Structure 1
């Protein structure tokens, strides 16, 4: 049985509200607050029991960056959440860990390239995934105490795939001012090694507040099913695929489940902070649960779904063979759904690490296409196929009804 005409209309209207009317929803911004209010009020209108959990966060604004060497100005961008800077200092350069260990960078402007800028460095206090190499790099930089860092990068990969240049640092807990620039410009800049260069960053970290909304529907027994999708975005993107579609699906699915009489409680959570360095909504939720999710029967996380040239790809974690077979029997009824490859760059990871059964849903072309659109102004509603979302809502409702 498909969605009602009303249900189909809900998906498009929710997505238009989030991406066209509100737009960017970075944590701490007015748009973020408007988005979580929109979700909260809609879910309350459906009769769900609502919870609102406030948290402190940082909004960040940057008005200007000036990088000058000799008589030449270079295009550079402030790393998101960077502290301000007004420096004229000697330029030094390193491209490897060994060079970083040996360099005298105290009070200087440090340019980093190659091995040190091949990927985005995880925030220093990020608990879910933080490679030892990243932690060592942050520690070394803080030990060396440069006045500022210039990151010279190529094209991004993974979640930064659509960006050139890309920010190596995006961390409000890292207090060395930094900028990033294209490698073609950086090659000219490093010719000034040993000479004084000028770097000015006019930026500000602004204390702000937001909240995590949680909607609940009581079941007839013990245990719970968690339906989640992050509601926040990076700056400067309308966030249609990442992750307006996920939130629109949650809201349409909640409408379909408003008369739910199943065995387990339903929790619907638009996590607030997946694209923010401190993941505050997720950390708050973990702490509220004392890190204990033994009563969670299933988590379904939706992120990056609905690209017009894709299918909806469902991947499974910690499911039994029988449970996987049950879900596959539902998927087989839809030409727009397939079994997908496992991926870990999403909110389901914090549950699967605890052994909780999880289903993660994204676009089948997520790595090849969607990651080159997400986090950019190109992530618009024009890339979305609403029919994919409609079919997914219907399938997820069936999967939820089959959970025993």
Structure 2
């Protein structure tokens, strides 16, 4: 199987809702197999929306907060398959009015001990105060977590409300002092340097939760895939910004097949509206009239007058929105490129994850300049698949975002 996996670094709700409509349509049509939402949100409102909209968490970095995983009750056990080397944290939130939550740490202290402690609800994600938490139970559990395979975790509650935890078929602890006869919600996380992957989460749309408030956080996604080369080597990857507000869904599969059939290119870009390099070639190909102004070749493929200007971006968006034919011809169907370009919507092959364990830094430069130069493989722009990218940072001041989003939303409704 050669799955098609879309990766999106999320997520600003207002800008991402249009993209969501297109991608759910593409999944329903069988064009895209999986959509991996990397939660790099910076506001609590956006985080709540991403959590609510995109379902279960598959993976979380060590500093990611607790994520809801399921429930437990006397007649229904909590089960999960957790890939983690040490420090699996399980939070038990009793139903009803509870002054305290309970936290089970499995394989803490370098996979040597496990504890049960009470935690105030307000301090659930504040690891700095864990030393003050009341420990109810502690036990030596050497090697309780296996680093080589997903750990089978089962939390059950008997008829008296007493919980028991088993890991890989071994009873870790039973706690008569807890009464969960009314049931409880169960949350999980890693911590203390251990990331957590929940291998039983296989929904087509799933979340991957990065460390919060990290500057240039995108390396976390590339690191995840590069470390799982064997699993993803046959996949075709798409990566798009969260503010893609138009996507020619009729041409998406054609773009994917071109990517699959042309392994000589390291990355292939869609033909993007509001992208400096694409705009230069769009005008060169006769798609953008002179009345819109001159779209120069960005120096080294980066920056330029369009990237800097809200006014120019607005004019370009309005031109595209008013255009009946949403195709923007380039000088050639495929334009080879050996300089930097914005990675608003690109594709790479899973086998190239061999080279994609990127360090923290500028992923765009790495994917379009450093790696193509090192590997002597050009990038390309595919003319027949058009998407529209809402804005770059320097364009934000002066851009009427609400008006443009409303216009693109109306276009989406007419197309889907």
- Do these two structures clear the TM 0.5 threshold for a shared fold by scoring above it? no
Larger Rg: 2
Which bracket does the TM-score occupy, shorter chain normalised?
Answer: under 0.3
TM-score w.r.t. the length of structure 2 is: 0.26
